[in-house]
Amino acid sequence: MSGRDSGVAEVTDLAAVGIRRAGRPGIDFWTLLGTPAMLVVLVAFGVPLFMVVYKSATDPGLVNYTDVMGDPVFRKSLFKTIEIAVAATLAALLLGYPYAYVMARSGRWMRSFLLVALMVSFWTSLLIRTFAWQVLLQNTGVINTELKRLGLIDTPLPIIRNEFAALVGMTQMLAPFLILAVYALIRAIPPELEQAAMGMGARRSTMFRTVVLPLSMPGVAAGCVLVFVLALGFYITPQVLGGPSERMVGQSIAEAVHAFVRPGLACAMAVILLLLVGLVLAATARFMRLSDILKMGSMSE
């Protein structure tokens, strides 16, 4: 690993080193350094999490769960949420993986350009990006207006207020997470491995399938899980870009808190969503040890 521009990979390396060393018996720098952070995580995430679960069952009672599951709109939005999250994850993977690969394997200038492009978009407010997409996609938006002006279409293309638009927006919001996760892993694969494979008779596609893909799999898994989990919680982007059918669970939660002022109900919904996330992580863990995801980062040493 070289170069300052691979900050993400370095962080992963560092984390991997820390975790590996922490695994050893005895005390070292990383254990010491990590302990307060672990405690903060425990206090900052564990306690609220417990409160959410507790409130869902007691405020006013388990009726929250029967209310939630009895609501056909919620059930529908739950399935829609999963569907959209899966689709967004796949789209982020299809677009993000090649991006990450090109970024990892291109020269210094190209890599910097791609990274900056990624970061600028990453750091722009989610709301601003959502409305920017609206300006692009709506019937009187840039795309439809231009296509009409060029005489290619008579009526506006249906690219707003539907699942397509919601997915475009969400993919753009979420792909950076996947790109960074995969990028870190691919950067850690020495280019010599690819050269060795091709020298030994593998065409580029075979080399990719037999070397790069398996070695970047932990990053793909980490990125996909991250994107999927984040997608489950989205609601502003699908609400603005999608139609009313693209209703996500997040919207129901917001409604329960802001409009009905029934935090218990919202907590119940959150717990259901959380169980879903747990299920996904458990399924991932079946195919891949979570530690692998971290271990790979240190391969470049």
Partner 1 sequence: MMVKKLSVAMTALLLCLGLVACGGDDDSAAGGEGKLTFAGWGGTTQENIDKAWLQPYAKESGVAVTQDSPVDYGKVKQMVDAKNVIWDVFEAGSDFGLDENDSLTPMDCDIVACGDFDGGPIPLYKYGVPMFTFSVVLTYNTDALTQAPTSWADFFDTKKFPGKRAVYNGVPGALQGLLDTALIQDGVDPADLYPLDVDRALKKLDSIKDDIVFYSDFGQCTQLVGSGEAVMGNCYQGRDLTAMDEGQPIDFIWSGQVIYADYLMVPKGAPNQDEAMKLIAYITSAEHNGDFAKLQAYGPANPKTELSPDLAAKMPTSNVMPGADAPVIVDDKWWNDNLESVTQKWNAWAS
Partner 2 sequence: MTQSQEETFVKGRAGADIEIRHASHSYGPTLVVDDITFSADAGEIVTLLGPSGSGKTTLLRMIAGFVPARRGSILVGGSDVTALPVHRRNIGMVFQNYALFPHLNVRDNIAYPLARAKVRRAARPSIVAEALDAVRLPGVEERMPSQLSGGQQQRIALARAIVNRPRLVLMDEPLGALDRRLRESLQVEIVRIAREFGLTVVNVTHDQEEAFTISDKIAVLSHGKLLQYGPPEDLFRAPGSVEVADFLGESNVLHGVVELGREGHRLRRGDDLVLLTDQHVRSAGLVPGQDVVVVVRSWSARLVPLEDARTQRGRSWVRARIAAVLFTGDSRKIVLHSQQGETLSVRYTIDAEIPGVQGDEVAVQWDPSLGVVTSARTSPQEGDR
The only residue of 5, 20, 21, 31 in contact with partner 1, by rule CB under 8 A: 31
Q: Which stretch binds partner 1 (CB under 8 A): 65-73, 84-92, 118-126, 182-190?
A: 65-73
Q: Which stretch binds partner 1 (CB under 8 A): 25-33, 109-117, 165-173, 225-233?
A: 25-33
Q: Which amino acid is at 45?
A: F
Looking at the Cβ atoms of 37 and 200, the one nearer to partner 1 is 37
Looking at the Cβ atoms of 140 and 210, the one nearer to partner 1 is 140
* Helix segments in 24-162, DSSP class H: 29-41, 47-58, 63-70, 72-105, 108-123, 126-137, 142-149
Please give the DSSP secondary-structure letter assigned to residue 157: -
187 in contact with partner 1 (CB under 8 A): no
How many positions of this chain bind partner 1 (CB under 8 A)? 34
CA 178 to mean position of chain CA atoms:
6
* 273 contacts 233 by C-beta, under 8 angstroms: yes
CB of 35 to partner 1, least distance (A): 4
Q: Find which of partner 1, partner 2, none residue 299 binds, CB within 5 to 8 Å per kind.
A: partner 2
Q: Which residues contact 55 (CB under 8 A, 6 or more apart)?
A: 263, 264, 267
CB of 30 to partner 1, least distance (A): 11
CB of 202 to partner 2, least distance (A): 5
Q: Which residues contact 270 (CB under 8 A, 6 or more apart)?
A: 52, 56, 253
Q: Which residue in the block uniquely carries the two structure tokens 């879903």?
A: 276
Tell me which residues touch partner 2 (CB under 8 A). 190, 192-193, 195-204, 206-207, 210-211, 214-215, 299
Query: Apex CA 121: angle with CA 174 and CA 112, to 5°?
Result: 110
CB of 9 to partner 2, least distance (A): 16
- Taken in order 47, 50, 52, 57, the sign of the CA dihedral is negative
The only residue of 40, 94, 126, 285 in contact with partner 1, by rule CB under 8 A: 40
Q: Find which of partner 2, partner 1, none residue 45 binds, CB within 5 to 8 Å per kind.
A: none
* 263 contacts 59 by C-beta, under 8 angstroms: yes
Residues in region 230-289 near partner 1 by CB under 8 A: 239-240, 243-245, 247, 251, 254-255, 257-263, 266
Residues in region 75-134 near partner 1 by CB under 8 A: 76-77
d(C-alpha 160, C-alpha 137), whole Å: 6
- Nearest Cα residue to 223 out of 128, 94, 134, 133: 94
Looking at the Cβ atoms of 161 and 187, the one nearer to partner 1 is 161
CB of 222 to partner 2, least distance (A): 16
Q: Measured between alpha carbons, how far is residue 32 from residues 29, 38, 253 in Å?
A: 5, 10, 39
72 in contact with partner 1 (CB under 8 A): yes
Q: Kindly list the residues in this chain that would bind partner 1 in the complex (CB under 8 A).
A: 27, 31-32, 35-36, 39-40, 43, 71-73, 76-77, 138-140, 161, 239-240, 243-245, 247, 251, 254-255, 257-263, 266
